[in-house]
Amino acid sequence: MNDYINWIEEKLLQINLVKSMDQAEGFSRLGYTKEEKASQEQFRLISQSLGLKTYEDAAGNQWALWEVDKQAGWIATGSHVDTVYNGGGYDGSAGVVASLAAVKMLKDESFQPRKNIAIIAFACEESARFNVSTIGSKAISGLLDKEKVASYEDVNGVTLEKAFTKRGLDWQRIQDAQLEDDQLEQFIELHIEQASKLEKSGKEIGIVRSIAQPTRLHITCTGKTNHTGTTPMNERQDALVAIAPLITFIEEATIEINQEQAVALVATVSTIQNTPNSMSMIPGEVVVGIDIRSTKADLKHRLVEKVNRFVQQIEMNKPVSFTIKTLVDDEPTDLDPGIQETLTNICEKFGLSSMSLDSGAGHDVMNMSKRWPCGLIFIPCRDGISHHPLEHANMEDLLKGTKVIAEYLKKTSC
């Protein structure tokens, strides 16, 4: 098995375009950049060395195909190769390399699948560049709102459509990447956990039940801008003072809801815009952005209700008004129970300890699961750190995950 560890490590470096995974600045390989393309090119080379046929679809997703029978169905596995700014080299890449290594294992033992096997390296999974995530898998599963996202800009003012075109792809054709129901039977992804449940519990493999999806609010508090020097304290309509208690309220209310039940709810006041944000002006308008996540939609809605009531109370006591805008309210994604059971059995067969858990972060599999039965396995990552240069996963853990993927492909493709 040492040979596989070496192979996995070598290919991980190759996909990450480095000689060592220790990179002080981490990896910045954003979606639809030449860096992502360079990494995709390495994916293609490795796939071809395994005898797989490669192609790029209309959304820039990379496909590696082990086609054995034109009439038979397709089982797919994979993840993404893009990263956030100064991210880690395991988020996404680990899953892509595990998928490649799993196919290598099957080929090495001369396994003959009766169904076709595909590996997908999804394009632009991270929202780091355009504030919209999983573009490649959204395109494949028909969930991409092309008109809406075309004008989304990166920090340099480059729109998604422009970046896509510059990358050599045709924006007008992106939806051609969409697959028909019968073009795929199921999809399975391996990912680093990006949290520390596995590490803390000493389990080797996490089998994901459900993926939390965000509900996002913009809450605007409107008061009145005036001079800080000439406006007496009893005549102010200070929007910042009025909204401030809401920030601590959200934390307290979320903790309270968590104490009442087993499923986790997390909420963060993650953005704030203060207008006019000037030393000599009383804040006239403040907008806070709140990100709420749980695998149970009703818990998210319970918090939103509490926030509504709290805001009404502030309005009764202060000369300000509030508006609450819901930016997104996505339903949590439940993964296929049958696939979870199969994965649990595979772990047992290999003597690997496993646990069921939920994912707080989104992944490509959440889009794929809207169309096809899907599974997601986690391997531990050191201290739960991710989206950071210190992100790290052990090669031994990656090999264990690879064995689970290989066995799953074997079971489902015969």
Binding site for Zn ion (CB under 5 A): 91-92
Write out the two tokens for 139: 């395109």
CB of 125 to Zn ion, least distance (A): 6
CB of 91 to Zn ion, least distance (A): 4
Write out the two tokens for 253: 């209310």
How far apart are alpha carbons 362 and 325 in whole angstroms? Answer: 22
Choose between 36 and 91: whose C-beta lies nearer to Zn ion: 91
CB of 96 to Zn ion, least distance (A): 10
Choose between 128 and 243: whose C-beta lies nearer to Zn ion: 128
Choose between 31 and 113: whose C-beta lies nearer to Zn ion: 31
Choose between 196 and 258: whose C-beta lies nearer to Zn ion: 196
Return the number of other C-beta atoms located less than 10 Å from residue 133's C-beta.
21
Buried b (16+ CB within 10 A) or exposed e, 67-81: eeeeeeebbbbbbbb
* Residues 6 or more apart in contact with residue 117 via CB below 8 angstroms: 65, 66, 74, 75, 76, 77, 103, 106, 409, 413
Q: 397 φ, ψ to 5°?
A: -70, -35
CB of 137 to Zn ion, least distance (A): 11
Angle ∠(156,158,163) on CA atoms, nearest 5:
130
CB of 80 to Zn ion, least distance (A): 6
Q: Are 21 and 13 in contact (CB under 8 A)?
A: yes
**CA distances to 190, 317, 373 from 36, in Å:** 19, 52, 28
CB of 394 to Zn ion, least distance (A): 18
How far apart are alpha carbons 258 and 382 in whole angstroms? Answer: 26
CB of 362 to Zn ion, least distance (A): 8
CB of 92 to Zn ion, least distance (A): 4
Write out the two tokens for 24: 């002080």
How far apart are alpha carbons 381 and 28 in whole angstroms? Answer: 19
Q: Are 409 and 119 in contact (CB under 8 A)?
A: no
Choose between 92 and 332: whose C-beta lies nearer to Zn ion: 92
How far apart are alpha carbons 309 and 307 in whole angstroms? Answer: 5
* Residues 6 or more apart in contact with residue 336 via CB below 8 angstroms: 186, 369, 373, 374, 375
